[in-house]
Amino acid sequence: MIAEQEHATARRRQNGTIIELVDVHKRFGALRVLHGINLKIERGKTHVIIGASGTGKSVLLKHIIGLLKPDEGAVFFQGQRVDRLPDRALTPIRRQFGFLFQLSALFDSMTVGQNVGFPLTQQTRKSRREIDAIVGSKLGMVGLDGLQDKMPAELSGGQKKRVALARAIALDPAVILYDEPTTGLDPIRADVINELILKLQRELGVTGIVVTHDMPSVYKVADRVIMLYEGRVHFEGTCDEIRSSGDEQVRRFIEGRAAAADLSGPTEKE
């Protein structure tokens, strides 16, 4: 254990890596999704993951918080190997993550305030008053303080995303995983979410991992861009590097061009 901690400290000093995936493979039956993912996530930076629908972006996020286990390979958090940990040992690690799920489901039968306070009532022993104060401050961060007593059904799509984001930061996570946070929003509301991603990075120092299809979002929030293709990291670099990349797959993706195979292949799920 001590050796492991020393290892962790050494790792942090070395390169500021907070999360590392080493040769991660994952298949579901005959479907091979991840085929040797190697990736380092740097503390305090925002990483954006792009790639075609079904390439395993959500599956990758789930490996990071241990909702899925790799068939081969390893996942490290702060230098500690986490993919083999039992659920009990994962709980304190998961508390350091905020997860904005792809279908950012709020609990429809709870008020906005109860939704945001949910992780606090579940995972802490804080008093009602303390929780109310935290809920107010988190809703304030996303620009929605005062909406505590509304029901989710009364909110717009953009407001729901922001409430889900307030809930994701309730426990002051070190890392926030955003799975398609702007999908389904108009460009203005999408930009509000992008601004919030930047604000949380700036004000809370969080490490961000954002999955998106939206190239304006990529250019706005990304310190590092990672493109998945055929189960591997096909490209990794800055916004400037991806813009000037000559790689055919990268260009097709960022310019939104279909290949002949896309036109003749089976219909996509969306």
Ligand X SMILES: Nc1ncnc2c1ncn2[C@@H]1O[C@H](COP(=O)(O)OP(=O)(O)OP(=O)(O)O)[C@@H](O)[C@H]1O
Distance (Å, whole) CA 42 – CA 168 = 20
Helix (H, G, I), strand (E, B) or coil at 192: helix
Task: Kindly list the distances between the CA atom of residue 20 and the CA atoms of 33, 78, 96, 253, in Å, as whole numbers in the listed order.
Answer: 18, 8, 15, 25
In whole angstroms, the minimum distance from the beta carbon of 59 to ligand X comes to: 3
- What is the b/e burial string over 44-81, where b = at least 16 CB atoms within 10 angstroms of the residue's CB? ebbbbbbbbeebbbbbbbbbbbbebebeebebbbbbbe
50, amino acid identity: I
Which of the listed partners (Mg ion, ligand X, none) does 59 bind, with a CB threshold of 5 to 8 Å by partner kind?
ligand X
Nearer to ligand X, 60 or 197 (CB): 60
For residue 49, give the 3-state DSSP assignment. Answer: strand
158 binds, among ligand X, Mg ion, none (CB under 5 to 8 A by kind): none
Per-residue interface string for the shown chain with Mg ion, residues 41-70, x marking contact by CB under 5 A: ----------------xx------------
Task: Tell me: does residue 71 bind ligand X (CB under 6 A).
Answer: no
The smaller minimum CB distance to ligand X, of residues 111 and 212, is found at: 212
In three-state secondary structure terms, 236 is strand
At 39, phi and psi to the nearest 5?
-155, 135
Residue 201's binding partner out of Mg ion, ligand X, none, with CB under 5 to 8 Å set by partner kind: none
57 versus 94: smaller Cβ distance to ligand X? 57
Residue 148 CB, nearest distance to Mg ion (Å)? Answer: 30
Q: How far is CA 270 from the centre of its chain?
A: 21
CB 100 within 8 A of CB 179: yes
Q: With CB under 6 A as the contact rule, which of the stretches 46-54, 108-116, 132-140, 253-261 interacts with ligand X?
A: 46-54
In the complex with ligand X, which residue's Cβ is closer, 58 or 201? 58
- By CB under 6 A, residue 28 contacts ligand X: yes
Locate 212 and state its tokens. Answer: 């998106």
Name which of 173, 168, 175, 228 is nearest 41 in CA terms: 175
265 binds ligand X per the rule CB under 6 A: no
Compose the 188-227 pattern: x for residues touching ligand X by CB under 6 A, - for all others: ----------------------------------------
Which one of 47-55, 75-83, 168-176, 238-246 is the stretch in contact with ligand X (CB under 6 A)?
47-55
Interface residue list for ligand X (CB under 6 A): 28, 31, 33, 51, 53-59, 102
